[in-house]
Amino acid sequence: MSVNGLGETMLAVPERRSLIWRQWFGPLMAASDAAVVLSLVYLAATIYSLVEAGLPIPHSATPELAAMLAALFVFTNALRGRYRIENYLSAKGQIGSAFTVWNITMVAFLALVVLAKIAEHYSRAVIVATYLAGIPVIALSRSLIVRLVANGSKTGRITAERVFLIGREENVMSFVGRHKPWDAGFTITDVAFLRPHRSGDPAKLAADLAVAAANCRMRRPDSVFIALPWSEREAVDACINAFTNLPVAIHLVPEPVMERFNAVHVVRSGSLASLRLTRRPLTPAEITIKRGFDVAAASCALILSLPLLVLIAALIRLDSPGPVLFRQRRYGFNQQAFRIFKFRTMTTTDDGQVVVQAQRNDPRITRIGHVLRRYNLDELPQLLNVLSGEMSLVGPRPHALAHDVAFERRIAHYARRHNVKPGITGWAQVNGLRGETDTDEKMARRVAFDHWYIDNWSFWLDLAILFRTVFSPKAFQNAR
């Protein structure tokens, strides 16, 4: 029943060392964060004193300031549950979390000193210097610790959790091969393979489970992972019943379909519990924030750029015959068609079932059109689409309907980019992915960037994209 041939990476580390690590990991990480903050405050105070008085002697209020900031930073991290080993196994989200907690710490500190009327006791220069220096220093220290902990976990020196696996051999080996539990900080104490049995022969399953439960009790793991298809309800229920009387956490190994999604949650609504694979791209509050910013920023931009818009319109009329504005059907949110506004930059205004994309040195592009496309000025009239609610300032760039129909047939999940409003600029564009998409590979890469934006949206990401749209050279690459 018990199989130990899964490789050295799955062997248990000495239980005593594992227990010590798990007991002291949180306090050690808290002490590390406190040391970093204390060092930052003392360093900032020493440099300030050296500049102001010529002596490297910190002000007498420095110990109090350092203690308050360190305590608030550690307390906030502890409240957010950041001092668990599993939070240090991957660099993903670490810098963002540290930055958020650091900001909360400074806001809480300022609120405390203002309410207590003791703000005059502390140097504003030292506080500002500590805050600014803390952003890169805390992120760097956290990244270094994550690297050390992740390496320690993979080599078995650090264990987040000791687990016992049970299931049929093919299911257990598939789970181990797909997920490599040791990379997630797990140490596998033992494995129990269930023999194949017919649904009408529960005695064999009960015997297997009795031996497995007894072995699990001796191994004393933290958790039991049941590797069985969820459709085998009777076998799953029997496994749960067998291990319920043991002091362990019981987990069902995820079904392969769940691996397609990054944020799977169990959601409860009254007595109904469901497994949520995806959520709406934006919550109602996020939609309100994004829309409010769009209206305010687009209105200001339209007013400020009005002289430029009039000048461009006059130049287009003088340069070539045809309308000033070019309107073309595009898909918007939820694949609802709308007409996009652009300054006309070509001698043609295609909007049918066949739309030929602009190419390098395309003879259809007018003289003024080259300049407008080079600096993205042809997109300015889309501020009207933003104000009308058809577009956002930031989002996946909309394509002509003919191109959407063609690419949707050839690129998986292409239409998912319509789950948010299209934008005047987007994450793909500021990363240099613009211009002609003459191959499926080019479009697939652009779509991947659009999907990343949808999955990782934040108000600050929108601001960063707008900033890069104006100042980053990549935003102007591949212009036609």
Using 50, 70 and 90 to split pLDDT, how confident is the model at 3?
very low
CATH fold, domain 160-276, is Rossmann fold (3.40.50)
What pLDDT, in 10s, does the model give residues 251-296?
998 888 887 777 787 888 888 888 888 778 888 899 999 999 999 9
Cβ-contact 379, 408 below 8 angstroms? no
Read off the pLDDT of residues 101-129 as tens digits, 9 standing for 90 and up.
Answer: 999 999 999 998 888 888 788 888 889 99
The pLDDT of residue 188 = 86
- Residue in 318, 420, 433, 307 with CA at minimum distance from that of residue 367: 318
Residue 167 backbone dihedrals phi, psi, to 5 degrees: 160, -175
Dihedral of alpha carbons 103, 107, 112, 114, sign: positive
Residue 13: pLDDT band with limits 50, 70, 90: very low
CA dihedral 82, 85, 88, 90 (to 10 degrees): -120
pLDDT tens-digit readout, 357-405: 666 666 677 888 888 887 888 889 999 999 999 999 999 998 888 778 7
- Give span(s): CATH 3.40.50.2300, the chain: 160-276
pLDDT confidence of residue 296 = 96
Average pLDDT, the chain: 83
Extract the tokens encoding 25: 């990991």
Mean pLDDT in residue range 399-412:
82
Q: Identify the CA nearest to 180 among candidates 150, 138, 207.
A: 150
Contact between residue 307 and residue 320 where contact means Cβ atoms under 8 Å apart: no
State how beta strands 223-227 and 249-252 pair: parallel
